[in-house]
A and B are shown apart, each in its own frame.
Chain A
Amino acid sequence: MSLTNFKIWHFRGGVHPYDGKELSNQVPAQYAPLLEKYYVVLRQNIGKPPKLIVEKGQHVAKGQKIAEADGFVSAPLHAPTSGTVGDVADIPGANGPNVPAIEIIADGKDEWDTGLEPIKDWRQADITDLRHRIAEAGIVGMGGAAFPCHIKLTPPIEKIIDTLILNGAECEPYLTADHRLMLERTKAVLEGAAIAAKILNVERILLGIEDNKPDAIEALNKLADQYGVTVVPLPVRYPQGGEKQLIYALTGRCVMTGGLPMDVGCVVQNVGSCAAIYDAVAEGHPLIERYTTITGTPVVNPSTWIVRIGTPVREALGFAGGTKSHAAKLIMGGPMMGFAQMTLDVTVTKNTSGILLLSAKETGAYTSDPCIRCGRCVDNCPMHLQPGSISVMVESEHFHEAEHLNVMDCMECGVCAYVCPAKRPLVQHFRRAKSEIIAERQAAKAKAAMKHS
């Protein structure tokens, strides 16, 4: 499809940090070697955690379901390899508190038995079957949010969807997982997108990709016409890959406060999710592995790996040759939105797009000062918020005021903290506020439910 006259919109704010992608973007992705033990975290999706359906000591095959969805907003889990089920114990979670995880002890045979038949002629298949398959394969949003994929593909009947947007922007510095994926599994990405488009019954598929990946753009363009996808190169600007920013950049539509992309007729899927959809439908493979970038200046061989869900980070760093110099910080995800970790015992989950080590020179301890009201955070906030004011409210525990200042719209992109000259831990304040507000809302809901009963 011709790109002449395609209007690109420019979202407000944002930053352009050093992207560090040259460390790993030319290294082909490799399959991670089989490990002895995997720890599959039970809760890997937004919504309800799935219910365990295997027992300790039971033998499972690779790809066999080990936990089934509990309710609609939930996604099942599958064994990353064949082996025996071990204990269910608490391990450190990537997002903070300890989380229960299932231990899978590999038997080394790595035999598939998924119980999912490949649907080769998906163009003729029933839409309900395809949706069911995607739900069964445990696919969640692989860009980071981990929202179950089948829900996005089941919009309410009153919402008219006219555009499927593929998120290949990968605006996070250092990460090259989506880049390598689009380059190496171009067909899977595009075919997965075509399957999603068939389910949603949309004609228009746009793929937003930052123009710092010319090789991936070229590869995509070769096949894009075949699947009706328009590849749109976007200027490099963080957070170009934010859902709302990407919708605006490609369509000029604004998602309102508290709204969802489907309110403006769009569904956004990460390219990783599209490849997973292809695997689930055409190959009959559930989501048990993903592209993950293991990078950072202290890493010996920064590179992208196809790692299985449940791989401990300690082992994953070993794939990339370990460290050559002292690493001061370990981050799951990218440097802007990722979570700093306290220990190497955390594991790869469905939304781990990167494992990043930073040296003391790049990060390091700092002290934060009071807000000097320079307003840089307000200038750069892509969500049109006032981060400085909100953080002051949170510091004095005025969460209602923070709610009035729309802290719930914050997507924790970290732009405000990046530009803050006083080095204020703004995003951490917002996370605190959000957790308090959500807890309060749930308490109010429970109270109301008590009154009714």
Chain B
Amino acid sequence: MLTVLISTIVLAIVGLALGLLIGFAAKKFDVEVDPRVESVQELLPGANCGGCGYAGCADFASAIIHQNADPSNCNSVSSEALKKIGLIAGHEITVRERKVAVVFCSGSYSHTSHHEEYNGIMDCRSASLVGDGDKECHYGCLGYGSCARVCKSGAIEIRDRLAFVHPELCIGCGRCTQVCPRKLIRLVPITAKVHIYCSSLNKPLKKRASCMNPCLACKKCARTDSSAVVIQPNLLQINYSNPPAPDFPERVKCPTGVLATAEQHLKLELLPANCTCGKETKKK
């Protein structure tokens, strides 16, 4: 009986002493957490993608409050949340449009002509060091999937050695844009539904010889709506400050099908090579 009593008393005393110690330590070494950081963190997507340049969403939230970081550096946060973050942090927020990644290439393996077979490391950056890949076009997608491997939201699909982005899955973190050795992937406003899926600056005839779906710079789209596209040497690009409506491809009827919406581009293999303005596509 005595043993039980003694041990109870001793434990009670020890418990009390440690409790006081913890209480004291909690008061003494208290780190004041800014409640704003917590509420900002709750508004951030929590994907910890690292696209903003910070270690994760918590780090970014604290940077927003303490280091005046720009909240719109987060590509995946919604505009309402961005406004709320602005109110909390007291920043002037310019609401930036959400962006998604687009791979500007339509050169799948069966639609392009290629050099000899490459059987080294299946990684775009390694392959670009050896003969610069096996596709003849030196601007196009290498198709070894470096971008797909870094994508945390699984938005990039490699099909027939060509990378496709599913815009509904893309959170716009921009990691893929950094790993692509050809710099083919760019972030564009999500409101732009139509893209010209080509990056080659080769002359049209050369493009035609190496790919079934290049932008031949025929300027048919520019004639349909000159404000919708930007004309570059041997290549046209969508004017992303004034993106055309999703029915633009129907109106233009691009001869190579390279001007397309994301949905149409995803069905690329169904596209016929129906352009007759170039010479016959050579295929091995």
Q: Does A110 contact B (CB under 8 A)?
A: no
Q: Is the CB of B134 within 8 A of A342?
A: yes
Q: Is the CB of B131 within 8 A of A431?
A: no
Q: Does B138 contact A (CB under 8 A)?
A: yes
Contacts of B123 in A (CB 8 A): 432
Contacts of B133 in A (CB 8 A): 342
Q: Among B119, B126, B138, which residue has its beta carbon within 8 angstroms of that of A432? A: B126
Q: Is the CB of B131 within 8 A of A96?
A: yes
- 0/1 interface trace, chain B 87-128, chain A, CB 8 Å (1 if under): 000000000000000000000000000011111110101101
Q: Does B70 contact A (CB under 8 A)?
A: no
- What size tier do the contact residues of chain A reach? 20 to 34
Q: Does A265 contact B (CB under 8 A)?
A: no
In the complex where A90-B138, A342-B118, A343-B116 touch, is A428 in contact with B130 (Cβ < 8 A)?
yes
Q: Among B126, B132, B138, which residue has its beta carbon within 8 angstroms of that of A429? A: B126
Q: Among B131, B132, B138, which residue has its beta carbon within 8 angstroms of that of A340? A: B131
25 A–B contacts from the bound complex (CB under 8 Å): A92-B132, A93-B132, A96-B129, A96-B130, A96-B131, A96-B132, A97-B138, A98-B132, A330-B116, A340-B130, A340-B131, A342-B116, A342-B118, A342-B132, A342-B133, A343-B116, A365-B117, A366-B119, A425-B120, A425-B121, A428-B130, A429-B126, A431-B129, A432-B123, A432-B126
Q: Is the CB of B126 within 8 A of A428?
A: yes
* A-facing residues in B135-149 (Cβ within 8 Å): 138
| Given A97-B138, A340-B130, A435-B129, 5 additional A-B pairs, CB 8 A | A93-B132, A98-B138, A342-B115, A425-B120, A428-B126
Q: Does A227 contact B (CB under 8 A)?
A: no
Q: Is the CB of B126 within 8 A of A92?
A: no
Number of A-B residue pairs with CB-CB distance less than 8 Å in the complex they form: 54
Contacts of A435 in B (CB 8 A): 125, 129
Q: Does A11 contact B (CB under 8 A)?
A: no
Contacts of B131 in A (CB 8 A): 92, 96, 339-343
Q: Among B116, B129, B132, B134, which residue has its beta carbon within 8 angstroms of that of A428? A: B129
Whole-angstrom distance between the Cβ of A92 and the nearest chain B Cβ: 7
Contacts of A97 in B (CB 8 A): 128, 132, 138
**CA of A339 to CA of B134, assembled, Å:** 14
Q: Which 8 residue pairs across A and B have the least CB separation, nearest first?
A: A342-B131, A342-B115, A365-B119, A432-B126, A97-B132, A343-B115, A96-B129, A342-B116
Identity of the chain B residue whose Cβ is nearest the Cβ of A436 in the assembled complex: B125
* B-facing residues in A122-139 (Cβ within 8 Å): none
Contacts of A365 in B (CB 8 A): 117, 119
* B-facing residues in A383-439 (Cβ within 8 Å): 425, 428-429, 431-432, 435-436
- 0/1 interface trace, chain A 434-453, chain B, CB 8 Å (1 if under): 01100000000000000000
**CA of A342 to CA of B114, assembled, Å:** 9
Whole-angstrom distance between the Cβ of A427 and the nearest chain B Cβ: 10
Contacts of A343 in B (CB 8 A): 115-116, 131
Identity of the chain B residue whose Cβ is nearest the Cβ of A433 in the assembled complex: B126
* B-facing residues in A75-108 (Cβ within 8 Å): 90, 92-93, 96-98
User: At the interface, is chain B mostly helix, strand, loop or mixed?
Assistant: loop
Contacts of B138 in A (CB 8 A): 90, 97-98
**CA of A428 to CA of B122, assembled, Å:** 11
Contacts of A92 in B (CB 8 A): 131-132
Identity of the chain A residue whose Cβ is nearest the Cβ of B123 in the assembled complex: A432
**CA of A429 to CA of B134, assembled, Å:** 18
Q: Is the CB of B115 within 8 A of A428?
A: no
Contacts of A341 in B (CB 8 A): 116, 131
* A-facing residues in B47-68 (Cβ within 8 Å): none
- 0/1 interface trace, chain B 59-85, chain A, CB 8 Å (1 if under): 000000000000000000000000000
Q: Among A90, A96, A366, A425, which residue has its beta carbon within 8 angstroms of that of B128? A: A96
Whole-angstrom distance between the Cβ of B7 and the nearest chain A Cβ: 53
In the complex where A90-B138, A343-B115 touch, is A429 in contact with B121 (Cβ < 8 A)?
yes
Contacts of A428 in B (CB 8 A): 120-121, 126, 129-130
- 0/1 interface trace, chain A 177-189, chain B, CB 8 Å (1 if under): 0000000000000
**CA of A318 to CA of B233, assembled, Å:** 38
Identity of the chain B residue whose Cβ is nearest the Cβ of A363 in the assembled complex: B119
**CA of A342 to CA of B118, assembled, Å:** 8
* B-facing residues in A330-347 (Cβ within 8 Å): 330, 339-343
**CA of A431 to CA of B138, assembled, Å:** 20
Whole-angstrom distance between the Cβ of A321 and the nearest chain B Cβ: 21
Identity of the chain B residue whose Cβ is nearest the Cβ of A343 in the assembled complex: B115
- 0/1 interface trace, chain A 191-210, chain B, CB 8 Å (1 if under): 00000000000000000000
Whole-angstrom distance between the Cβ of B136 and the nearest chain A Cβ: 8
**CA of A98 to CA of B140, assembled, Å:** 13
**CA of A29 to CA of B92, assembled, Å:** 76
**CA of A343 to CA of B116, assembled, Å:** 7
Whole-angstrom distance between the Cβ of A424 and the nearest chain B Cβ: 9
Contacts of B126 in A (CB 8 A): 428-429, 431-432
Whole-angstrom distance between the Cβ of A267 and the nearest chain B Cβ: 30
**CA of A428 to CA of B128, assembled, Å:** 11
**CA of A428 to CA of B118, assembled, Å:** 13
Whole-angstrom distance between the Cβ of B202 and the nearest chain A Cβ: 9
Contacts of A429 in B (CB 8 A): 121, 126
Contacts of B121 in A (CB 8 A): 425, 428-429, 432
**CA of A366 to CA of B132, assembled, Å:** 20
Contacts of B132 in A (CB 8 A): 92-93, 96-98, 342
**CA of A330 to CA of B138, assembled, Å:** 20
Whole-angstrom distance between the Cβ of B26 and the nearest chain A Cβ: 39
Whole-angstrom distance between the Cβ of A41 and the nearest chain B Cβ: 14
Whole-angstrom distance between the Cβ of B106 and the nearest chain A Cβ: 21
**CA of A80 to CA of B79, assembled, Å:** 63
Whole-angstrom distance between the Cβ of A431 and the nearest chain B Cβ: 5
**CA of A97 to CA of B116, assembled, Å:** 15
**CA of A166 to CA of B244, assembled, Å:** 67
- 0/1 interface trace, chain B 21-42, chain A, CB 8 Å (1 if under): 0000000000000000000000
- 0/1 interface trace, chain B 189-214, chain A, CB 8 Å (1 if under): 00000000000000000000000000
**CA of A93 to CA of B115, assembled, Å:** 13
Contacts of A98 in B (CB 8 A): 132, 138
**CA of A340 to CA of B132, assembled, Å:** 11
**CA of A429 to CA of B122, assembled, Å:** 11
Contacts of B129 in A (CB 8 A): 96, 428, 431-432, 435
Whole-angstrom distance between the Cβ of A150 and the nearest chain B Cβ: 29
**CA of A450 to CA of B120, assembled, Å:** 38
